[in-house]
Amino acid sequence: MRHFITLLKHELRMLVISPSTYVAGVLFLGLMGFLYWAILRSTVNAPSDILPSVQFFNIFWIPVFFVVPLLTMRSIADERSTGTLDTLMTTPVSRSAVVLSKFAGAYIFYLLLWALTLGFPYITQRLYPHAAEAGALLDPASITGSFLFLAVSGVLFISIGILASSFTRSQLVAGMLCFTTLFVVIIGGQQLGNLAQSGTQFTGWMDATINYLQIFQHLDDFSRGIIDTRPFFYYLSTGCLLLGIATLVIEAKA
């Protein structure tokens, strides 16, 4: 545990001084701020039964595609290319502690970026009090459930980035591999679900598996206050599996 804390502090320090972290932060807040404004404008022009907060979190996949690769692509690939990973492996530090520290550092920044989006509805309420009718901008149930989903699903997304970074010395390759995998997991799963709903015949276990992996359905349930243990098991167990594979990859290439 002592080694993990030391490595985590170092990882957080490296994230603070890394240009990709600030690029990710600026792009994330700029894009999400614009999308939040667009959602409010569309709600004013065409009132909807769906709360603005729910519409906002439904587009979580857009920032995930670029924020996660930017936060994780340098984690292991950069240290491998500079040779510092080989030096680290000669110290009495376990491979799992190295992987977990890099995961924890990126995961903390990921949650911090999403937490900053809470400033959008607060700013809107301050500048336009009339826009906060019936508490629609800060509905506690939808915001709490959505953030719980983001925290749990973030374990899987960040783990994908860490695993991608462990395979290569190139940050660019790690970022592209992470983006591609995230696209397959999020969008590919949704398309399979659409096929199942359109009447395409799948075997019983395939249909059950496809429904189980529906990330957008998980978000919809969480935002409505439906907390199921199955998504927790899916994201946490799969994330742990990917981190375990990343540890084995490091050991094999050490």
pLDDT digits (tens, 9 = 90+) for 103-153: 999 999 999 999 988 888 777 777 666 655 555 566 777 788 888 999 999
Q: Going by C-beta distance under 8 Å and a sequence separation of 6 or more, which residues neighbour residue 164? A: 69, 72, 73, 174, 175, 177, 178, 181
For helices 19-45 and 95-116, give the axis angle rounded to 10 degrees: 40
Tens-of-pLDDT digits for all 254 residues of the chain? 667 888 888 888 887 887 877 888 888 888 888 888 888 777 767 666 777 777 888 888 888 898 899 888 888 888 788 777 777 777 777 888 888 988 999 999 999 999 988 888 777 777 666 655 555 566 777 788 888 999 999 999 999 999 999 888 888 898 899 999 999 888 876 676 666 555 555 555 566 666 667 787 888 888 777 777 888 888 999 999 999 999 998 887 65
pTM of the model: 0.87
pLDDT digits (tens, 9 = 90+) for 83-112: 777 777 777 778 888 889 889 999 999 999
Domain ranges of the chain: 2-253
Contact between 242 and 162 (Cβ < 8 Å): yes
Q: Going by C-beta distance under 8 Å and a sequence separation of 6 or more, which residues neighbour residue 163? A: 242, 243, 245, 246, 249
pLDDT attached to residue 208 = 63
Task: With residue 153 as reference, give the H or E element that holds it.
Answer: helix 140-166
